[in-house]
């Protein structure tokens, strides 16, 4: 793995662990945010490995997924995508972000981020052959 993608991947794993810890402690909105962050870093690491160029300066998971042809996790990307803003800003959430997620939604978003990780891992491994 290239150094720049390896760092992204490792930080994605850390973000995933952070999402898990926040879920366990009941900080559901923050868990969702870190699930988004993990997925974004996995996508960007895959982008660097597959395209052999720097990833686009975006937080749009759907855009990154389309660039990589990851249509099998597109539903996951679409669900995670708005959380970059919704989990942080009351105007984007149409209310207090801390009240916008439950244990159920945090678990679902964590599962989505894990699926993104697995598909990106397969994509990276196939690009290394």
User: Which residues, 6 or more positions from 115, have their beta carbon under 8 angstroms from its beta carbon?
Assistant: 73, 76
List pLDDT tens digits, range 101-111: 999 999 999 99
Please name which of 26, 30, 15 lies closest in space to residue 93, comparing C-alpha atoms.
30
How many domains are contained in the chain? 1
Q: What are phi and psi of 6, to 5 degrees?
A: -65, -40
Cβ atoms of 49 and 122 within 8 Å: the answer is no
Mean pLDDT of 118-126: 95
CA distance 44 to 60: 11
pLDDT above 90: percentage of residues in the chain = 91
Q: What 3-state DSSP class applies to 55? A: coil
How confident is the prediction for the chain on average, in pLDDT? 95
Range of the domain at 42: 3-127
CA distance 59 to 71: 18
Q: What pLDDT is recorded for position 67?
A: 95
Please name which of 30, 52, 40 lies closest in space to residue 9, comparing C-alpha atoms.
40
Q: What pLDDT is recorded for position 3?
A: 84
Supply the Cα-derived Rg of the chain in whole angstroms.
Answer: 14
- pTM here is 0.95
CATH number for the domain that contains residue 38: 1.20.120.330
């Amino acid at each position: 793995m290239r150094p720049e993608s390896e760092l992204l991947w490792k930080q994605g794993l850390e973000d995933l662990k952070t999402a898990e810890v926040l879920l366990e402690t009941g900080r559901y909105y923050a868990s969702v945010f870190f699930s988004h962050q993990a997925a974004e870093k996995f996508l960007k690491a895959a982008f660097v490995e597959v395209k052999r160029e720097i990833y686009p300066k975006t937080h749009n998971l759907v855009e990154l997924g389309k660039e990589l042809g990851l249509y099998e996790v597109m539903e996951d990307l679409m669900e995670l995508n708005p959380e970059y803003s919704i989990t942080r800003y009351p105007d984007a959430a149409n209310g207090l972000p801390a009240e916008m997620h439950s244990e159920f939604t945090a678990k679902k978003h964590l599962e989505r981020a894990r699926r993104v990780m697995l598909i990106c891992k397969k994509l990276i491994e196939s690009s290394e052959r």
